[in-house]
Chain A
């Protein structure tokens, strides 16, 4: 859809409020078609078959996890699977994007990314920041505006929670930290190697790194970490890289004038406006990195693999798997005013996203071509929130130190290091031992669940149905039921608690641990 036509429709839609959604939906359909066209063209070229459509249950659980970060509530599952409405998938997508849970999930994700991994986890105060992000995502503010407000934030946390991004890091000098995070998350490039040396294969040089770092040099945070929360962030226009103290302690340090990545050096702007100048350059629709970086990251979030992979390593030597797709999506994203809900809606509406994750004849090639939906691992947050959704709040467990909050502790324990590959299961013995044998979730909560959903008033099949629906968001197949019956027979003596054991087994299953 051309830009003027789109604008006209938006204006028309504002007059007739109920039209807005329809316009957005139409536009999403057009973008979804763009996605499918590019994916299909490549498949034709490679003579690779495309996977079948996902079943309703597969799609339901996947889209809940991807947009809300949690498995669907059992009542919603029942309703969705029973519905014969041919638009039920689109309606579900609308419902999920309109729910405040969408912004909360996105806020939680971006809190994790934007707060420096060097921040002191005992001290970090990030809830206000997550709430601020959630609110912006729920209002569907353009990604350019959100990024602008983060990069230019000033003041105290209670007045402007966005400053959390700038002050939770390595004290007192957060220049390198912010250079790394900003280039990685807003521009999709890894600059950090260039801090110390020119990269052998990549165009980024040390002067590129320090040219970007120079934009953050005027940021003043108090020397004492505790003071940060009372004093907040101010810029001191007199500070430049050249005036940084103890600069020789910073690896690779070079004093450079503020220079946009791959662009011009700032000459005229006074230092007080440095960060504003950076943010304006960054979020401009003409910026070559900004839209691509976010499109690629959102794609990675949904498909477990970037169009450019690794997700934050965009440079001339690392070609996208589908260049025209990335090009078109980035252009449309910028033209829409960096509309994230539109981008999400387009992706999850596409046939590509709604494929099954069951493999065809060449699973490895299929993953690269997006010829099936990749299987992702539930993140620590998705795992915790899903366990709570199914089993209720965690039980107090003496061996678990939840002083900083049960969710925080759980997510720290189960978190992967760094920015992990979403399709790689990297948990070990400590993690699965805890899932199997800790009373935090695996104890009484399961008994309570089975007394509610597998009680004696249920027939055998009803009880199994209830547990599968609640835990895996689907009905058991005939094969599942046969497997369960066979297991009971082989166990010999009839025993109590078969449904408790079934519930435990489903919660420990690979199917539950993964988003397929």
Chain B
């Protein structure tokens, strides 16, 4: 990242020099017109989608490996994907398919944690922050009334938390996008709420005066932030029913499609990180009936994801918004007797779109059966360091967990990291 001038550094420089005249001023003014920083939307495919049936088809492999789906051409010649992603196929020029993901955890919970935080979960270890919480810390603004990290849809939350980064970066959960975010409206009238909250403030300041505890200040601060969100104009971003019907239809009327639409609204409002989950925790975990289930899920994913990328593009936000499609691992090349596929972590696919990356390409390659990576293996740390780089986050920066004197880098660099340079 050294050598590039970020918007923030320009503004800081301009502010420090006390003037906005001259070239620096023009540069700062130009930077101010740009979106403040990049945003990221993670489309999380719970359960682990089969790479061979989505983005890494093996049409020439034996039937018990290649499965039932056929490849189709995309808008980029030479790149083929599953026939159940027809809309996304048309947007291939904006996206890169990463076919050489190679990871180590093949238990849902542990892999979900590893992919979200970049660290393996250990008994008695540090509680690591999720990517969303890290983005919230690095790119979010403290005086923004919405949380900088929002997590939409039913699915695992154990890996999305802020860990040692604490309450300011805890994701706000939306379980059902149709309903908006839960508990944002008071149980009483707003006037009554304000009145009774005023009473809370009075009691709290009297308690704080007597006890002077840091915990009391932190508690009051959390209440204040929540109340500010309740009354913020920007909370309308949580209300997808404000969108015209034709837009809502384009995303698909299911929870995932409407979640993608909410993600777009949130990002436009200034939220830095939104995760949308598809699959309610086990959806893509197709140990049985892999093909009918993968087909249904693919169609739903295709609709929401394609509408999101298209909509972001049409509204001029695609370059500043990185969209990630991924699950916790892939699925075994061999199909089982029940027509299913088992967990497979050592070779699988993910997709990146927008965020200013070079699209229209496939990165990495697996063998003829989709079992092993034969070109450019991407480990969890390579992947997350690349995401950070796209988002203009210095992934080598360290945090300190309270009660520990060990610096913890944003991305674990105990083993050398290999950034996916082809994307830039």
Among the interface residues B121, B158, B219, B225, which one has the most CB atoms of the partner chain A within 10 A?
Answer: B219
Chain A residue at minimal CB-CB distance from B163 = A417
Chain A residue at minimal CB-CB distance from B185 = A437
Interface digits, A500-516 against B, CB 8 Å rule (1 contact, 0 not)?
01101110111101101
Q: Are A180 and B402 in contact (CB-based, < 8 A)?
A: no
Q: Which of B88-96, B167-175, B269-277 contacts A (4 or more CB under 8 A)?
A: B167-175
Chain A facing B: main interface SS: loop
Cβ-neighbour of A117 out of B123, B211, B229 (below 8 A): B123
If A417-B161, A432-B222 touch, whether A487 touches B202 (CB-CB below 8 Å) is yes
Complex interface: chain B residues within 8 A of A437 (CB): 183-187, 230
Q: Are A170 and B107 in contact (CB-based, < 8 A)?
A: yes
Instruction: Give 7 CB contacts A-B under 8 Å.
Output: A116-B123, A120-B109, A169-B123, A358-B211, A428-B225, A437-B184, A501-B195
Is A301 in the interface zone, CB < 8 Å from B? no
Interface residues of chain A, those whose CB is within 8 Å of chain B, are 116-118, 120-122, 169-171, 176-177, 180-181, 184, 190, 192, 249, 251, 309-310, 312, 357-359, 363, 375-377, 399, 401, 416-421, 423-434, 436-439, 442-443, 479-480, 483-484, 487, 491, 497, 501-502, 504-506, 508-511, 513-514, 516
Complex interface: chain B residues within 8 A of A357 (CB): 211, 213
Q: Are A399 and B182 in contact (CB-based, < 8 A)?
A: yes
Q: Are B122 and A180 in contact (CB-based, < 8 A)?
A: yes
If A359-B212, A428-B147, A491-B195 touch, whether A117 touches B403 (CB-CB below 8 Å) is no
Chain A residue at minimal CB-CB distance from B146 = A429
Is B424 in the interface zone, CB < 8 Å from A? no
If A375-B215, A437-B185 touch, whether A177 touches B123 (CB-CB below 8 Å) is yes
Chain B residue at minimal CB-CB distance from A115 = B123
In the bound complex, CA of A506 to CA of B107 (Å):
44
Chain B residue at minimal CB-CB distance from A488 = B199
A111 shortest CB reach to chain B, Å = 15
Complex interface: chain A residues within 8 A of B120 (CB): 251
In the bound complex, CA of A436 to CA of B225 (Å):
13
Is B76 in the interface zone, CB < 8 Å from A? no
If A192-B125, A429-B222 touch, whether A509 touches B173 (CB-CB below 8 Å) is no
A86 shortest CB reach to chain B, Å = 26
In the bound complex, CA of A357 to CA of B213 (Å):
9
A470 shortest CB reach to chain B, Å = 15
In the bound complex, CA of A516 to CA of B195 (Å):
27
Complex interface: chain B residues within 8 A of A358 (CB): 210-212
In the bound complex, CA of A177 to CA of B208 (Å):
41
Is B216 in the interface zone, CB < 8 Å from A? yes
In the bound complex, CA of A113 to CA of B173 (Å):
26
In the bound complex, CA of A326 to CA of B110 (Å):
38
Q: Are B218 and A487 in contact (CB-based, < 8 A)?
A: no
Complex interface: chain B residues within 8 A of A439 (CB): 187
Q: Are B124 and A417 in contact (CB-based, < 8 A)?
A: no
Complex interface: chain B residues within 8 A of A487 (CB): 198-199, 202
If A487-B198, A487-B199, A491-B195 touch, whether A401 touches B175 (CB-CB below 8 Å) is yes
In the bound complex, CA of A357 to CA of B214 (Å):
12
Q: Are A117 and B121 in contact (CB-based, < 8 A)?
A: yes
In the bound complex, CA of A363 to CA of B217 (Å):
14
A204 shortest CB reach to chain B, Å = 14
If A399-B183, A511-B207 touch, whether A190 touches B222 (CB-CB below 8 Å) is no
Q: Are A483 and B215 in contact (CB-based, < 8 A)?
A: no
Complex interface: chain A residues within 8 A of B110 (CB): 118, 170
Chain B residue at minimal CB-CB distance from A116 = B123
Interface digits, B176-218 against A, CB 8 Å rule (1 contact, 0 not)?
1001001111110000100111111011101110111111101
Is B226 in the interface zone, CB < 8 Å from A? yes
If A434-B182, A508-B200, A509-B207 touch, whether A429 touches B229 (CB-CB below 8 Å) is yes
Cβ-neighbour of A510 out of B164, B186, B204 (below 8 A): B204
If A423-B214, A510-B208, A513-B219 touch, whether A418 touches B126 (CB-CB below 8 Å) is yes
Q: Are A184 and B124 in contact (CB-based, < 8 A)?
A: yes
Chain A residue at minimal CB-CB distance from B198 = A487
If A399-B182, A417-B127, A484-B199 touch, whether A430 touches B173 (CB-CB below 8 Å) is yes
Q: Are B166 and A426 in contact (CB-based, < 8 A)?
A: yes
Complex interface: chain A residues within 8 A of B223 (CB): 432, 436, 508
Q: Are B172 and A429 in contact (CB-based, < 8 A)?
A: yes
Chain B residue at minimal CB-CB distance from A430 = B172
Cβ-neighbour of B167 out of A122, A171, A428, A436 (below 8 A): A428
In the bound complex, CA of A506 to CA of B196 (Å):
10
Is B404 in the interface zone, CB < 8 Å from A? yes
Number of interface residues of B (CB under 8 A): 70
Chain A residue at minimal CB-CB distance from B120 = A251
Is B82 in the interface zone, CB < 8 Å from A? no
Complex interface: chain A residues within 8 A of B204 (CB): 509-511
In the bound complex, CA of A431 to CA of B202 (Å):
21
If A425-B215, A429-B225 touch, whether A511 touches B182 (CB-CB below 8 Å) is no
If A181-B124, A417-B161, A480-B206 touch, whether A425 touches B219 (CB-CB below 8 Å) is yes
Q: Are A375 and B187 in contact (CB-based, < 8 A)?
A: no
In the bound complex, CA of A376 to CA of B215 (Å):
8
In the bound complex, CA of A493 to CA of B158 (Å):
47
A394 shortest CB reach to chain B, Å = 14
Q: Are B213 and A424 in contact (CB-based, < 8 A)?
A: no
Is B220 in the interface zone, CB < 8 Å from A? yes
Complex interface: chain B residues within 8 A of A375 (CB): 211, 213, 215-216
Complex interface: chain B residues within 8 A of A116 (CB): 123
Interface digits, B32-46 against A, CB 8 Å rule (1 contact, 0 not)?
000000000000000
A346 shortest CB reach to chain B, Å = 26
B156 shortest CB reach to chain A, Å = 9
Q: Are A479 and B215 in contact (CB-based, < 8 A)?
A: no
If A170-B107, A170-B110, A484-B199 touch, whether A192 touches B182 (CB-CB below 8 Å) is no
Is B335 in the interface zone, CB < 8 Å from A? no
B109 shortest CB reach to chain A, Å = 6
Complex interface: chain B residues within 8 A of A190 (CB): 124
Complex interface: chain B residues within 8 A of A310 (CB): 403-404
Q: Are B219 and A418 in contact (CB-based, < 8 A)?
A: no
Complex interface: chain B residues within 8 A of A399 (CB): 175-176, 179, 182-183
A318 shortest CB reach to chain B, Å = 10
Is B298 in the interface zone, CB < 8 Å from A? no
Chain A residue at minimal CB-CB distance from B401 = A418
Chain B residue at minimal CB-CB distance from A122 = B281
Is B80 in the interface zone, CB < 8 Å from A? no
In the bound complex, CA of A442 to CA of B187 (Å):
8
Contacts A192-B124, A358-B210, A514-B213 supplied; 19 other A-B pairs, CB < 8 Å = A118-B122, A181-B124, A357-B211, A359-B212, A363-B212, A375-B211, A417-B164, A421-B402, A425-B215, A426-B166, A427-B167, A427-B219, A428-B168, A433-B184, A484-B199, A487-B198, A502-B199, A508-B223, A514-B219
In the bound complex, CA of A439 to CA of B185 (Å):
11
In the bound complex, CA of A511 to CA of B175 (Å):
31
Complex interface: chain B residues within 8 A of A434 (CB): 182-183
Complex interface: chain A residues within 8 A of B123 (CB): 116-118, 169, 176-177, 180-181, 184, 192
Is B104 in the interface zone, CB < 8 Å from A? yes
A482 shortest CB reach to chain B, Å = 10
In the bound complex, CA of A329 to CA of B142 (Å):
46
B268-303 residues with Cβ-Cβ distance < 8 A to A are 281
Is B162 in the interface zone, CB < 8 Å from A? yes
Chain A residue at minimal CB-CB distance from B195 = A491
Q: Are B199 and A419 in contact (CB-based, < 8 A)?
A: no
In the bound complex, CA of A171 to CA of B107 (Å):
9
For the complex of A and B, the 8 pairs showing the least CB-CB separation, nearest first, are A417-B127, A428-B170, A428-B167, A418-B127, A375-B213, A425-B218, A437-B183, A505-B199
B403 shortest CB reach to chain A, Å = 5
A508 shortest CB reach to chain B, Å = 5
In the bound complex, CA of A425 to CA of B213 (Å):
10
Complex interface: chain A residues within 8 A of B213 (CB): 357, 359, 375, 423, 514, 516
Q: Are A192 and B122 in contact (CB-based, < 8 A)?
A: yes
Among the interface residues B104, B122, B154, B229, which one has the most CB atoms of the partner chain A within 10 A?
Answer: B122
Chain A residue at minimal CB-CB distance from B179 = A399
